Structure 1
């Protein structure tokens, strides 16, 4: 027995178990918030470390653990291959840093609004659901992972209980219940067709299913995952749901939730339905529409959070572009772009939280002069913004270049349309990011319109039912309105009024700034290690398109060897 392989397999359940155990401990420690925070951070630090070990262990071959020693396909199977471990390490790193950001916000002790006893356990349950989805080797267990993370996300989205959040949460719940129902129907169809839900065994048996039945099952699963990934035209729910949540919640949602849907598309497209030209063409068209329409939506917005929500939708199209090509080059570039986008998009939503903290609003019609007043905040926005826009030599440019090269190699008419759409979307994204920069950061404050105080509306998204409160419900670690992080109503970026031409700047909270700066540094590190990372994603794509390494790892031998035996 290989000791290294045995170690990796023994660690496989921990990314799921540790957050669940930590959630229970955090709930018990609700009366001791400081200890509760240490538990939450400690659990996620351990999960990140374990994820790094799993990435190293999966470099040579996939590792499999059958829960309870029940052999596949009878028992629940956990699989750590290169795709799942890359996704796990990236997502857990971002989850940890966003938790530190949330702790740095400094108001979670305000139990009348955002009880710590709710946030920390729910956040850890969310992490467990994400880890379970990535490591699952069983279609139904993948469904369970989705439901766990979605139940947690329902709670996090509505924290604070404002009318806009409850309304957005209701939309989110309805849409995701529908997608889960479609997913469950797809699971039933798969079991009826092949008699198993083990992904490796489905991949072997699906080839014997009637092509029309295969296509029907494939389209049902793509619809379910397309809703969760926010692929156009199934993406309308996202821009109305994410901007209403607290900043750390929005950041972790932007970084993780849609990527679990993208991961599911990559896994099923490469493993279960590798040769389906009809579905591939549909995915190409959907990818093009998602990129271009999402980017056009972004440039039409005047609120930073909504701009970022539409760019989130738009850049899902890049990932679907690579998957739809169904080539090792395309899939490898898509995986690289997923890693880049998880990090950069979460960073930008954290920056939006800082903008709201300092400026009292995220509307570009009410913000100005942020670069002069807070150069550090300007840097924290500028670096990930140009990375998202694809400025060379950053990781966003490298990922887009890989996708464009894969499209050119494909050479089909649809692929060339997607290449053009990818370039256009990159330019539109850069325009949307530059628009926010010019209006909120670069424009002098004296160019803002003068409003009368009685006409001013502060933060319409979060506080329409509480107009006297001029700052959002935060989820952190301190006491609301205490110390240097308290608000005096003097917002740096809010629109000028006839009676208040000079406002006192508000310092950036240290904890939030350090966490955001670390996320920016991680995004830059992706550029520095882009060569090794791209090699890793290329190897992951080669294994995915070959399919044999995954199936052999689960059953110990290929189907031909089992038949011969």
Structure 2
């Protein structure tokens, strides 16, 4: 039989096996909100339909992400190659326990914001694109958690950054524009630095696939260019995560947009920066993380303590919460600094808690602002008389954000303190505990002044919280309480994610099922 000399052996360049339907779960965290955002944009002249689209899409997203997490825990890391190109040449979506649990938590936070927004976002804001921008933001966050390609991590950062620019200026008030400038300039500098450093890493190892980078960096000699690259990544992602001393943009900008925008920002955006820092330094460059451990430790300690002190000095509740967000970043950086499985597990568990708790406390603050008409400590008050339910919700959020039992913030902090003591790093444990104490004082002060005391004379609490907002608050409070009372599932998932960072063999074999030639 004659042989066709023009035949091409596609098995040498492409995945020839048919894609299983179950594998579509790997791209669902990106595909669903992206399609929903496009649909919402096409139907922008139907403002009543906008929240329905967002809620349905995000509910489907949460269901798919829950199924994806379940499958990852059962089978290990999962990979899908875009365009069916063989790795490392194609763009990989690789989901492990760390990425899956953070994507699921981001979906829950996004769904809570979408439901809350149904009665909070005006018709004008709907027409100006609130819902397409919200779904695009969730797309970028989910893509960052699920990508297995370093350059596409940068791309997803850009996607969420573009969406956040649109959300932060929605309404066009002067203070929003001022906050957008501060937010935009610092984040664009960080993104540019990230891109430059990614180019330098590509020039050194010749690949952008995270699994391939992990293997190639391990074969490099210690020191030299790779250490410089690791330091630049630390600088870029620390700026994204609002770590000390690069985080002053956050309290200067997060208090300016609408409270619902502040909620999704506080819950998700800085966590993407921390995730990128953990993924790159803990998995891709563990040797360089060890060399930078002292620097990361000092950054973590100062990020824990300085914002907590600053929160005590604020008289504007939104700015106080901005500092609390940054203090929470310090806990996650402490886990990265420890570099142990227990430390990483504590950081992952704290990230899940923070995404829920920060979203919840901002949304609850929105309810108090509806009632009191202000977020100033000097003018707010009387919330408990006007709405005991909102007052109770705010107290739950304060206790959770402070890391007190029986809510979700207690166990991640306990894990981090135990990991620090086991590593003979008592002063890190002390910094975590002191920061928690200061945050408790700052948030307790907010509760006593804005919620518990009577309203100042001449300014009675006369607004109403509505029905939908408190229901969302009850749902988030229930989730926070369940994670506090039954922490075992969260601890188990966080521990699995930590093991994947310490030993990425499963991650690598997911991308390269057969040994690379």
1:55 correspondence with 2:69: yes
Q: Within the alignment, does 1:93 sit opposite 2:50 as a pair?
A: no
Shift of 1:393: 3.0
| Structure 2 residue runs without a partner (length 5+) | 1-16
Instruction: Please list, as runs of the form range in 1=range in 2, the aligned pairs for 1:371-450 lying within 5 A after superposition.
Output: 371-411=384-424, 415-445=425-455, 448=456
1:229·1:258 contact (CA, 8 Å) conserved in 2?
Answer: yes
Structure 2 residue 289 is matched with structure 1 residue 274: no
The aligned residue for residue 507 of structure 1 is: 464
Corresponding residue number in structure 2 for 1:352: 365
Aligned partners of 1:236, 1:77: CA distance in 2, in Å? 35
1:108-507 pair list within 5 angstroms: 108-109=122-123, 111=124, 114-210=125-221, 211-276=223-288, 277-411=290-424, 415-445=425-455, 448=456, 496-497=457-458, 503=460, 505-507=462-464
Is the CA contact (8 Å cut-off) linking 2:82 and 2:93 kept in structure 1?
yes
Work out which of the residue numbers 475, 489, 494 in structure 2 matches 1:537: 494
Number of equivalent positions: 497
Contact 2:97 2:497 in 1 (8 A): yes
Which sits farther off after the overlay, 523-532 or 231-240? 523-532
Contact 2:371 2:461 in 1 (8 A): no
Q: CA deviation at 1:542?
A: 1.0
Q: Does the 8 A contact of 2:382 with 2:461 survive in 1?
A: no
Q: Distance in 1 between matches of 2:461 and 2:35?
A: 45
Question: 2:247, 2:326 within 8 Å by CA — same for their partners in 1?
Answer: yes
1:482-528 per-residue CA deviation (whole Å, 9 max, x = no partner) reads xxxxxxxxxxxxxx34xxx7x46222111122112211112112123
CA distance in 1, matches of 2:505, 2:141: 25
Alpha-carbon contact 2:370-2:464 (below 8 Å) kept: no
Asked whether the 8 Å contact 2:371–2:386 carries over to 1, the reply is: no
How large is the RMSD of aligned CA atoms in angstroms? 1.5
- Give the TM-score taking structure 2 as reference length: 0.94
Contact 1:12 1:65 in 2 (8 A): yes
Q: Distance in 1 between matches of 2:22 and 2:154?
A: 24
Equivalent position to 1:84, from 74, 99, 106:
99
Unaligned runs of 5+ in 1: 449-495
**Contact 2:332–2:348 (CA under 8 A) maintained in structure 1:** yes
SS where residue 10 of structure 1 aligns?
A: helix
Q: Indicate if the aligned counterparts of 1:65 and 1:77 stay in contact, CA closer than 8 A.
A: yes
Residue-by-residue CA offset, 1:214-244 (whole Å, 9 max, x unaligned):
1100011111111111110110100010011
3-state DSSP class of the match of 1:58? helix
Q: Tell me the alpha carbon deviations over residues 44-90 of structure 1, each in whole angstroms, 9 at most, x when there is no partner.
A: 11111110010001003101000111011111100111000000000
Higher relative contact order (CA 8 A, sep 6+): 1
CA distance in 2, matches of 1:296, 1:357: 28
Q: Which moved more, 1:36-45 or 1:293-302?
A: 36-45
